[in-house]
Amino acid sequence: MANSAQGKKVLFICLGNICRSPIAEAVFNHILEEQGLAGWEVDSGAIGSWHVGRGPDRRAVSTMKKHNVHMSHKARQLKKTDFNHYDYIFGMDHENISDIKDMAPKTYTASIELFGSYDPQKELLIRDPYYDDDDAGFEKCYEQCLRCSKGFLDSLAK
């Protein structure tokens, strides 16, 4: 992998930081480890404060265990300082992107992007599985995050 893929700071954001964004964080860290990429800082956060301090949804944890992906995270809310600390802030859907931009300070250095824009299968939106009755949405989220993580890293290597 090219040097341009080394040492970035990436923050994943979803509504509550207990489903999609911690899955994205865990999957991205897993891919970094698999590809031997070091020097990255990866975290996730929430638009809202409802779940701050809580661990990920049990279905998210179960899905990550099924795929042997380590997940260790406590929910936190997006902060103003994140906009100048991170190189990339990824939202999971258009509403996340709108909320992220609304929360941004007047000037910032982070690139705010839709994580799904890196999906080679062109599924732009990572649907929120929080209200699902089963694990199927969490499995789909895992698969999308896997594709998007690889797609993003591939884009840096070009």
**Could you list the active site residues?**
14, 20, 128
DSSP 8-class letter at 100: H
How far apart, in whole angstroms, are the C-alpha atoms of residue 5 and residue 108? Answer: 21
Distances (CA, A) of 23 to 11, 43, 82, 96: 12, 10, 19, 16
Closest to 25 measured CA to CA, from 117, 142, 151: 142
How far apart, in whole angstroms, are the C-alpha atoms of residue 113 and residue 49? Answer: 21
